[in-house]
Amino acid sequence: MVILRIIGVVLPQLLLLQFLGSMYDFIGGWNRAPGKSFIEILILLFLLNPVVNLAWFIAEPVRYFKQRKGKNGIKCFLLTVLALLLFIESLAIDYFILTQIRM
> Which pLDDT tens digit goes with each residue over 51-85?
888 888 888 888 777 777 666 667 777 888 888 98
Q: What is the mean pLDDT of residues 19-27?
A: 64
**Which of 47, 43, 49 lies closest to 7 in space, CA to CA?**
49
**Which of 21, 7, 2 lies closest to 50 in space, CA to CA?**
7
- C-beta separation of 40 from 31 below 8 A: no
82 CB contacts (<8 Å, ≥6 apart)? Answer: none
**Looking at residue 26, what DSSP letter applies?**
-
Burial (CB count <10 Å: 0-12, 13-18, 19+), residue 56: buried
pTM for the structure as a whole? 0.69
Q: How confident is the model at residue 24 (pLDDT cuts 50, 70, 90)?
A: low
Asked whether residue 20 carries a pLDDT value surpassing 80, the answer given is no
CA 41, chain centre distance (Å): 14
